[in-house]
Structure 1
Amino acid sequence: MNARKRLLIVFHSQTGNTARLAEAVLRGAQRVEETDTELKRAFDTRSEDLLVSDGVLLGTPENFGYMSGALKDFFDRTYYACEGKLVGMPYAVFISAGNDGRGAVREIGRIANGYRWKSVAEALIVRNPIKDENLLAAEELGEAMAAGLAMGIF
């Protein structure tokens, strides 16, 4: 039997919007019983959390056309400890945007390239206010990522 896969959801939220999306992503991921999923705030996530994960979902508000400072801090704190150890790790992004969210997605992608991760889903960009269909899309993202890990697709 294959070892259980581990999915890590890392997020930052100031107003609560990204937290709502992160909780929806978690709900979706938890539907996949073959995958263990952990939800952590960016400031609380360490390189050790990444190193034991098989995939990562990253959530952030869009701040000034960029990711949150907390998510950037997460990258800054974990990069060198994880450098070269997570090549090909699947990742996806969800953004709570006041504008168009593309700048945040672009910059996360640039950093993920440095880790040599592999993007496995189109970024979920939710423009505020968050609606029920956005939460459903977030649940679907979490479920798809967890199922993909469990089935060995990524």
Structure 2
Amino acid sequence: MARLLIVHHSPTPNLTRILGAVMAGARHEDIEGVDVDVRPALEATVDDVLAADGYVIGTSANIGYISGAVKHFFDVTFDVASAETRGRPFGYYVHGRSDTSGAERAMQSITTGLGWSRAVDPLCFLGDPDDTHLAAATELGATVAATLMP
């Protein structure tokens, strides 16, 4: 069975809602043969990354960058992951209050360095998530999970 790893930093109700939508998409009844493993960024390990076949990363945009928790996740997994996980599909979302551009650049740079293959366009937006944002988050989760189906 394939495994999708969702790594997130969700310290606010808005980020928790977005994560819930991503998880709902990844676990949709039409997605078969894919286990979904959800880990807070400060708890995700190299073993989690190596055991997964695809990834969704969720972060807030903090002071123009990805959250410190997601940065820490990449710091502790990057060397091994870049050697062992090249070509694996991924997607990501960034939520902020004033600007997500720095966090978007960081995610693009890091995932390019990892050699991961983007399965879906990133979801990046400001403000409270509305139904359109949550639908896009659901689609993001479903799309990455669907790429892993046998």
Structure 2: segments with no counterpart, 5+ residues: none
Deviates more, 1:81-90 or 1:20-29: 81-90
**Equivalent residue, structure 1, for 2:26:** 29
**Equivalent residue, structure 2, for 1:108:** 107
Q: TM-score, normalised by structure 1?
A: 0.90
1:8 to 5, 8, 25: 5
1:19 and 2:16 correspond: yes
Contact 1:25 1:143 in 2 (8 A): yes
Q: Deviations over 1:100-153 (max 9, x none)?
A: 4222111011111221111221110132111122111111111111112115xx
Contact 1:12 1:42 in 2 (8 A): yes
Query: Which runs of structure 2 are paired with 1:48-67 in the superposition (5 Å)?
Result: 48-67=47-66
Q: What is the SS of the residue equivalent to 1:130?
A: coil
**Equivalent residue, structure 2, for 1:87:** 86
Contact 2:59 2:67 in 1 (8 A): yes
Q: Post-superposition shift, 1:48?
A: 0.3
Q: What is the SS of the residue equivalent to 2:6?
A: strand
Q: TM-score, normalised by structure 2?
A: 0.92
Q: What is the SS of the residue equivalent to 1:27?
A: helix
Cα separation, 2, equivalents of 1:145 and 1:91: 6
Q: Deviations over 1:37-86 (max 9, x none)?
A: 11110001000000010100010011111100000000001112323100
Q: How many residues in Structure 1 have an aligned counterpart in Structure 2? A: 148
4+ residue runs over 2 A deviation? 80-83
Q: Post-superposition shift, 1:87?
A: 0.8
User: What code does the residue aligned with 1:91 have?
Assistant: F
Calculate the aligned-residue CA RMSD, in Å: 1.3
Contact 2:59 2:66 in 1 (8 A): yes
